[in-house]
């Protein structure tokens, strides 16, 4: 079993849709939770970062963590074609563990 | 502020040849990472440096991979000899001591071994 599991997609949505990206993790000791966005042929860039359960909002993006079920979500409101990328779920404690990523396509 | 700089961006070599990648981290970042990312996968850690010291190289295939970070700034990752299965994107990242979990990535070097 992988330590971080994500549906690889691809997920295709129309512009303006609400997008929900999800992942699960196996180790209850993981202390921090992040989402990275990776455009094609680019390095990953940090999108959201939190330590605690609950919601964290930043503009059109909301990260949600449920430590009791080891479930992490990223919501994107009013999705734009520029949101088309791979979204990596990331967590860890001493070591940082990256999920395989979910490919998102937002159609204009 | 300049980001993490990697070179070259692309490299095509024949199997059994050596290859080297270079990384210049963000100024002042003490922690430096090398990752390998296969197609459709997330980055996998190869080695982590704290200043000049390699503090985690447990996933580095030491029979053919080597890395160094002289003076605690720039770093090089070398493969000798390269194998077909080494084709991947090699990413460098750095972190400031104040936010050790947050990593800033370079654009990567895409290696093709023929």
Nearest CA-CA partner of B108 in B6, B4, B3:
B6
pLDDT tens across the length of chain A (108 residues): 789 999 988 999 999 999 999 999 999 999 899 999 999 999 999 999 998 889 999 999 999 999 999 999 999 999 999 999 999 999 988 889 999 999 999 999
CA distance, residue B105 to nearest chain A CA (Å)? 5
- Partner-chain contact A43 B106, CB within 8 Å: yes
Residues 13-72 of B with CB under 8 A from A: 40-45, 56
Nearest CA-CA partner of A60 in A79, A43, A44, A41:
A79
Per residue in B36-57, pLDDT (tens digit) is 999 999 999 999 999 999 999 9
Backbone angles phi, psi at A82, to 5 degrees: -70, -10
Which chain A residues are closer than 8 Å to B110 by Cβ?
A: 41
Which chain B residues are closer than 8 Å to A37 by Cβ?
A: none
Is the pLDDT confidence value at B12 over 70? Answer: yes
Residues 34-93 of A with CB under 8 A from B: 34, 41-46, 49, 88, 90, 92
For residue A6 the two structure tokens come to: 């994500």
Nearest CA-CA partner of A102 in A1, A3, A34, A7:
A7
Worst-scoring range by mean pLDDT, A44-53, A70-79, B26-35, B97-106?
B97-106
Q: Provide the 10 A C-beta neighbour count for residue A2.
A: 12
Which site among A38, A43, A51, A101 would you substitute to test the B interface, given the most B Cβ atoms closer than 10 Å to its Cβ? A43
Is the pLDDT confidence value at B1 over 70? Answer: no
Q: Provide the 10 A C-beta neighbour count for residue A81.
A: 10
Is the pLDDT confidence value at B19 over 70? Answer: yes
Work out the average pLDDT over B81-103. Answer: 91
Provide DSSP, B1-29.
Answer: ----EEE-SEEEE-TT--EEEEEE--TT-
- Partner-chain contact A44 B105, CB within 8 Å: yes
Residue A49 exposed, middle or buried by CB count within 10 Å (0-12, 13-18, 19+): middle
Query: Strand A71-76 to strand A96-98: parallel, antiparallel, or no bridges (unpaired)?
Result: unpaired
């Amino acid at each position: 079993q992988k330590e971080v599991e994500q549906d690889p997609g691809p997920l295709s949505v129309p512009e303006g849709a609400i997008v929900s990206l999800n992942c699960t993790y196996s180790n209850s000791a993981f202390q921090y939770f992040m989402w990275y966005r990776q455009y094609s042929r680019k390095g990953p860039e940090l999108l959201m970062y939190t330590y605690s359960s609950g919601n964290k909002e930043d503009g059109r993006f909301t990260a949600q963590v449920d430590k009791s079920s080891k479930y992490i979500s990223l919501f994107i409101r009013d999705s734009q074609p520029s949101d088309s990328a791979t979204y990596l779920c990331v967590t860890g404690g001493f070591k940082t563990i990256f999920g395989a990523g979910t490919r998102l396509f937002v159609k204009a | 502020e300049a980001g993490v700089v990697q070179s070259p961006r692309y490299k095509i070599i024949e199997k059994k040849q050596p290859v080297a990648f270079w990384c210049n981290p963000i100024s002042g970042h003490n922690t430096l990472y090398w990752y390998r990312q296969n197609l459709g996968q997330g980055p996998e850690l190869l080695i982590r440096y704290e200043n000049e010291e390699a503090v985690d190289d447990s996933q580095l295939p030491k029979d053919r991979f080597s890395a160094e970070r002289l003076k605690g700034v720039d770093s090089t990752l070398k493969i000798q000899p390269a194998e077909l299965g080494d084709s991947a994107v090699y990413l460098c990242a750095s972190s400031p001591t104040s936010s050790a979990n947050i990593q800033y990535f370079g654009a990567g070097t895409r290696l093709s071994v023929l």
